[in-house]
Structures are given as C-alpha cells and as structure tokens.
Structure 1
C-alpha cells in the first residue's frame, strides 16, 4: 500500500551502537501495559520464505478490474455483531478503499473513498458505489476500517484522515463511526438513514503517539488508523483493534533489551541507533454495549526498534485460540532487519497478553521473491480465506520508490488496483501454511 510518511532527516544523536549493557537502568517512555507483548528483533531474524508461506506468482495486469472506473485496494467484509461474515436477505457485502482509475497509483490515498460491492454467492460481485453520502464523512478522505451489522443497522468504523478545514492535504488520523440502515431487495443492496458521523478515538500520547509527537524533532512515520470490529467469544465484550505507534516523541524513546529478544541475541546483534524511529504497535479499545463509548487500552503488541507500521490488525478465533494478524511493508523494518512485503501473525490463549509469533518469526504470507510487491493488505476471514489487493507486478528488480519516476502508462500497466486471488490458509496450533489458491474475490 502507498502511504505518505515523513522520513527522518537525521539520526538521533546517539554516538555509539546500542548494546545491552548500555540501557539496563534507563527508564522507558510510555511503554505498553503489563500484558503488552513485544515483537522482537530476534523474532524477525528468524523469517524465512518457504513453500508454506510464499504466495505463487500471478500477473497483476491480467486480473479483471472489479470496480469499473476505479482503483480498489484495502478490502473488508460486512460482519455480524459476533464477527462472522454477515448475510442480509441473501446478500453479502464487501467494502474497499477506492479512487478514480485515471489517478496515478501514488496519488490514490490522497482522495481515498469507501465504496462497496454485493454478492449472493460471495464470489461474483456487483459494484454498489459510494458507502456514505457524498460529503458526509469526517476528514479530507477515508482510509480503512470495518463494518458491523446488527439487525438492519450498520455500524461503520473508518479512519478519518486530514481535516476538512485545512486548505492543503494533511495526514492527521482519527477513528470515526457512523450508523445507518441497510436496505436490500432482489436487485441489490444500498444504505440509507445515516446518523451523524463522529470521532470516537484519538491517540492519547501515552500509549499511542500523537501527530504532534510524530512531528517533534526527527520524526518517522505516523499512524492511528484501520479500526477493526471484534467481539470476544469467551467474554462477550466488544472491541476495536487498530494500528498505532508507541507514544512519545522520538527524542524521549529509550531502548529496552526485551525489544531485541534474548540477551545472547542482543550481545551478538547490537541495535543501530536509527532503529529508534521504528515504534509501531497494535492498539485496542473496549466498546460499551450500546456503542456509545470507546475506551483506549494499552497496546496488544509493540514493535519498538523493530517495525514502524503494523497495518490492518484483526483477530480470528480458532480452537479457542486468538490469532492476531497484521500487514507490513519491506521498507518499514528497522535498520539491520529484513522482512518481505507480507502478512504476519501471533497466537495466544487470551485476547490480551501471551501472544507468540506464528511460525517462530511471525511471517504467515509473503509475496514471491520474483514478484515481491504483487499483493498487499491481506485480511483473514473467519473461514480462513485471505483477501488482498493486487499491488505492483513485474518490476524486474525496481523498488517501489522508483515507480513514481516512470511514465504514467508504465505505472498503470504495472499496478493491479483490484482484488488479488484469495489465499486459503490452514492453521494448526502455532503453525500456518497456504492450503490452496482460490479465485479473485472469493470469501464464501
């Protein structure tokens, strides 16, 4: 996925490489709660692509364009209140971020709008148009979210990016919601009777970095987005998961040995000073039963000094275990670490606390090395069908950063902008593997 993030212009004034003994007694700013789990540098060092996690090559240019006249990318299904794929009067619904297909790929996030499709069989989709009435959503544009159906009421959660009052494009991110009504007949699905949109969550500066903190000093990226509905089947409590970043300005961050992993690993693999810019986390908020209040909780997982972007977090419960998935880019790892454009996952016996990386490293799905950017923004449905979108294909060694320098015709040819083939995932305990590849858009 294409994001505009501020890049550090200088490295923190740390004179020497970080070693374990340097930080044993230093305080840590805004660390996670007592059950927050670290995804460590040692975990990431175990990443290995193999047949069980590598998606087969596909040609992005040959995939049918599902949204006439539009690019589409981040996609999510309509869920019922228990978190299952919802069916309303025989119809299933999916939502996606979209932008007119005459825009260059690098510009689509600047005008992103949520649109939707509906289907009887969960495979053949009809384009429905814009989700919200034009001009009613909060922000300059909408980024990813989720939608929950309760009776005939639909509760939409989304990322409100930028502020309408600004006369230029801005990147502040807040989590917003609106409630409407779903209407369906033999001809299809539409939405009406929307109530007012309202902001329900903003970063607190303690557990979750604010935009002001991100802009203070040598800033890296910034994220407070991607709300995903989740109901805990064990307790009945309801939550929103989201992508955040650990609180505090970069100059306030201190290294903790547990960010690296074992003492032996840290001794053999000193942490470079520039890793201070990586502070991605997966946040969670508790939702009241009437959906009126949303309480920020400490993050579930932090990737301090490891990775700066843990996108679109979501949970699937299987065999009484919680499987937490997230996506990240190859470019978001800290110096000294390497991981593919892929989906990563963790497993725990409890919703909060106890998470361990799946497959030892966390890697669940990766693009093939000969087409490393072919898909992105994976999301696992309750039936373990994984949807994503076709990103950039057949770059022949070119990096994503070089795409914007190519002629428009070249960029359009190499950008998918539509759903990728669905991946069927198999999970056994703390191990996952690709079971088979299904058709494009298959969620049934």
Structure 2
C-alpha cells in the first residue's frame, strides 16, 4: 500500500470520526469530499458535534506502508499467548428485548431490488480500509446471495450464487447479474463473504465455497475461497471481468477450528463468511469468519447445572492473518470470541471501530442457542461485543449482547444484519407475517404460503446510536438504503504537513489549518 507522506516523512493525522457524538449523530464523510445526503444527520436535533481521533506518525506509517510479508512477524506477535474472549451463559441470560433493540413490523407492500431473484446475506464493495467504495460513474455496489424465485425459500441455500447490484443513491438498485462466470466458482454453491477494491483497482472476492463442484449429493463442507477481477465502471454501469482462477485459501485445522468430520451432525457446523478487516491501529490485515471450536463435543465439559447436550454448541468467531501480497496465504490464529456451551452459530462476524473501540458483531438464531438458558434462548438477532483493541477482552453490548432483533409478534421477519462504518445496518426480509405459525412448520406448508410469506429482498435500513457498551436503535430508514461512509482509520491519500520533533513550522501549521477548514466545511461545523 502506498505510503502517505510528504518529502518522505510521515505525519500525524486528525481524522473525523463518522457519527461519533455525544448522544447525537454527525454527518459522515463521503468519497469525493461531498456530504452524504442519505446520512440521517438530523437525528437527535440540535448542533452536530464531530469528534476527531488522532493517529500518530507511527500508526499512519504502519497502516499505509504495511507489507504482509515484511510485517507478518510484527502482526503475529499480537496474537501470541492469547486466549479467546468468552461469551458466557451467564452473560447471555441478561438478553432482553427492549424498545432500544426491537424493530418495527414489516408490512407489504415493500420494494424489491430484483424481479426474478430471492436475495439474502448482502454486503457492500469496500475499499482496503473498509470504507464504502464509490466507483467511477458514482456507483456503490452491493453483493448478495441469490437464487431464482421459482426455488422454495427453504431450499435457496442449496443453489445459492453471488449476484450484484449497483446504485448512485444507495437506494435505487440496478441488477448486474451473477458475479462469477458459470462453472468457475468453487463449491456446489457459494455462501456469504466480503469484497474489497484494492488501491490498484483490483477487486478481491472472499467467499464461502460450500460443498464440491459436481457433487452428486448436497454436502455442507465449507471452505474459504478467493477470486479477483478487474472492474469496469462508467456512467453506463458496473461490470466485473478478467477473473483470476478461484482458489481455496483457508480450511479448518481441527485444532483451533473444527472440521466437518469432527462435528456431531445436528445443527450445521461452520467454517464460512469471510470478512476482510484492516486494523486501523496496526495496518495488519485479517479475515474474520464464523467457525466452531476445534475438536469434538466429547472433549467439552460445560460444568455442573448445564444440560449435557449443551456441549454440542461450540460456535466461535475466527481470525486469520495475511501472509503475502496477493491474499492467497493466511495464518489461522486463536479465535477472537468463543461461545462454547452457549451457541452453535456466530454468523457473518464483522468489526466496526469507533472512538478507538472495536465493535464486533455477529448474527445468530434462536434455535442455535444451547438448552437450559434462563429465561430462555436469545431471539434471532444481531449480537455485539466491544473491546479496546482487536485482541482486547470483548464484553457483550447491552449486558447480554443483543443489539437488534425483530418484534416479538414477527420474530423471523428479518435476518443477516450487517453494520456499516456509520452504524447504519443492512438486513433482508426473511419469513414475515407468519400469523403465529412456528418457523419449524413453515417448510411443511403449501408452496403458495411459503412464497407469499418470504421477503427475499432488502429490509429497512436501521440507524444505531452507540455509546461505549450501549447501543440504541434511533431510526428506521428506507428499504435497502446503503449509505456511503468511511472507516475510522488513517487515510493514505491526504496531504498533511510534517511537524518534526514537536518544533513548529509556520507553513506546516498553515497547511494544517487549511485541512481543518476543509473538514469544517465538510461537516458543517459551527
């Protein structure tokens, strides 16, 4: 990654923290230097106050001139002699549905972004630092798992393919089609991942290869795969072409992460959902993913007073460190978080950094919680944790971890929540208006009912307010709105003055003053 410097010397940066205020929300920066008209900056009323985070010259240097081969040992040291954080049964028993975490009921009619496809498990095209990318022509790009709408909703995972859409306003989406040319992707189908636009214009697709291409029976083997391509974007639209060969880059090792052979059957085991993350504090680059604790259930002792079958529930949030510059070699590391004896699935893990705190999010279902919890299992929802460093001690947000859930009368209406850098949250409409029918029975009902009560499109975007270890839903926005926001991280393409050894340089401070005036205008500060 090209360094950010002047005369070969790195300097300190002060970067505005998107949406970081005292119980208010500020405007987030948008690529190109214009305010994001979609960001709900009026929430909370009153003047908007933007906080700033300072990055030292060392942090800017590490971030912008990071080299995965040269810096591998430095990055690896952060993960030596560490233990995963633990999401405990005692913590999960603090989960409560409250007005701060519950969404509104979704009613028809609602807009669909595809006339012929079900879509679910969506994610944006991001830049290498995790900011939302805006391509030439002004396009934002959204990826999602897809299946023909002729497929029964409950069978869509068996034929899933990654498709994409693009939009200038983050609201009116144009369907681009399947991402990968037919017969090129690995697996019998593809499950969720993440997509990153690198500085040289190359696009990297990290995804879950599920099953094996050409298999005669559907299997649930999961491996993490990579492909890259060029992207062509102009006023007419967006096209991905010139794909590399697809390859497997991560598989479970059986020690840190459970293999399919070690799993017990039952609830599906996991090694999926890769999320690319560049640590703003160090520049080190990682993949997060959903996994299960290595070994077999027989090796797990949940302790006294816990139903013995709880040892079948061993979800964790895994992490791997990049080793080379073409994203093909990764080192498995001890998990960031474990939910042993509590939950079997910690789906689609991802991190947002705010005020120097690391917010770790994951999705989970009611049925994947272990038995014996009081007052009962957590609902389908977005769960979150916070720590003061990537390898910090993660504690659950809102005591139990629940951040967003569905209304109790429609507990399965949305799922797969994904938090963007400005704490807006995407999700998709799942099984809605079930009229009290248990979710376990839906698959036995006539096809007409199943089709009529599955959304398979984007749900209303949620806006979260975050204060330390507390979150609150403060607004529900339009269906499928994807805002443009930047991550809280050093920026490697900004001019900034060099200030050596604390000595003042009049010209340097003049430049610094100009930078603050730019940000002042950008955020409409008083």
Alpha-carbon deviation of 1:435?
1.1
Distance 1:428 1:47 in 2: 18
Alpha-carbon deviation of 1:142?
0.2
CA deviation vs aligned residue, 1:287-338 (integer Å, no higher than 9, x gap): 1350231111011000000000000000000001000000000111110121
Give the one of 446, 452, 473 matched to 1:413: 452
Q: Who is 2:182 aligned against?
A: 134
CA deviation vs aligned residue, 1:48-71 (integer Å, no higher than 9, x gap): 111100011112x42222112000
CA deviation vs aligned residue, 1:244-274 (integer Å, no higher than 9, x gap): 000111222223x6xxxxxxxx7xxx21111
Distance 1:275 1:372 in 2: 23
Q: Who is 1:67 aligned against?
A: 114
1:98 maps to 2:134: no
Alpha-carbon deviation of 1:443?
1.4
1:157 maps to 2:206: yes
Q: Who is 1:298 aligned against?
A: 334
Q: Who is 2:25 aligned against?
A: none
Q: Who is 1:308 aligned against?
A: 344
Q: Who is 2:235 aligned against?
A: 186
Alpha-carbon deviation of 1:397?
2.1
- Secondary structure of the residue aligned to 1:62 is coil
Q: Who is 1:34 aligned against?
A: 82
Distance 1:169 1:221 in 2: 13
1:212 maps to 2:292: no
Alignment of 1:112-127 (within 5 A): 112-127=160-175
Could you list the structure 1 runs, at least 4 aligned residues long, displaced by more than 6 angstroms after superposition. none
- Secondary structure of the residue aligned to 1:51 is coil
CA deviation vs aligned residue, 1:8-64 (integer Å, no higher than 9, x gap): xxxxxxxxxxxxxxxxxxxxxxxx9733011000111001111100011112x4222
Number of aligned residues: 398
Q: Who is 2:49 aligned against?
A: none
Relative to its length, the structure with more strand (as a share) is 1
Q: Who is 2:92 aligned against?
A: 44
Alpha-carbon deviation of 1:120?
1.0
Alignment of 1:40-439 (within 5 A): 40-59=88-107, 61-89=108-136, 90-150=138-198, 151-215=200-264, 219-255=266-302, 270-288=305-323, 290=325, 291-337=327-373, 338-439=377-478
CA contact (8 A) 2:413 2:431 kept: yes
CA deviation vs aligned residue, 1:229-254 (integer Å, no higher than 9, x gap): 10000000110000000011122222
CA contact (8 A) 2:464 2:473 kept: yes
CA deviation vs aligned residue, 1:82-120 (integer Å, no higher than 9, x gap): 010011112110100000001111110000000000011
Alpha-carbon deviation of 1:344?
0.2
Distance 1:309 1:352 in 2: 21
CA contact (8 A) 1:279 1:304 kept: yes
Q: Who is 2:51 aligned against?
A: none
Alpha-carbon deviation of 1:411?
0.6
Distance 2:83 2:197 in 1: 31
Q: State the TM-score, normalized to the length of structure 1.
A: 0.88
Alpha-carbon deviation of 1:219?
5.0
Distance 1:199 1:364, change over 3 A: same
Distance 1:228 1:34 in 2: 21
Q: Who is 1:28 aligned against?
A: none
- Secondary structure of the residue aligned to 1:410 is helix
CA deviation vs aligned residue, 1:210-237 (integer Å, no higher than 9, x gap): 011115xx65431100000100000001
CA contact (8 A) 2:380 2:405 kept: yes
Distance 1:33 1:124, change over 3 A: farther
Distance 2:387 2:474 in 1: 22
Distance 1:329 1:205 in 2: 25
- Secondary structure of the residue aligned to 1:427 is strand
- Secondary structure of the residue aligned to 2:398 is helix
Q: State the TM-score, normalized to the length of structure 2.
A: 0.74
Alpha-carbon deviation of 1:166?
2.1
Alpha-carbon deviation of 1:404?
0.7
CA contact (8 A) 2:267 2:368 kept: no
Unpaired segments ≥5 residues, structure 1: 1-31, 258-265
Q: What is the RMSD of the two structures over their aligned residues, measured on CA atoms? A: 1.3
- Secondary structure of the residue aligned to 1:46 is coil
CA deviation vs aligned residue, 1:143-191 (integer Å, no higher than 9, x gap): 0000000132100000000011421111100000011011011110010
CA contact (8 A) 1:342 1:367 kept: yes
CA contact (8 A) 1:152 1:183 kept: no
Distance 2:407 2:364 in 1: 15
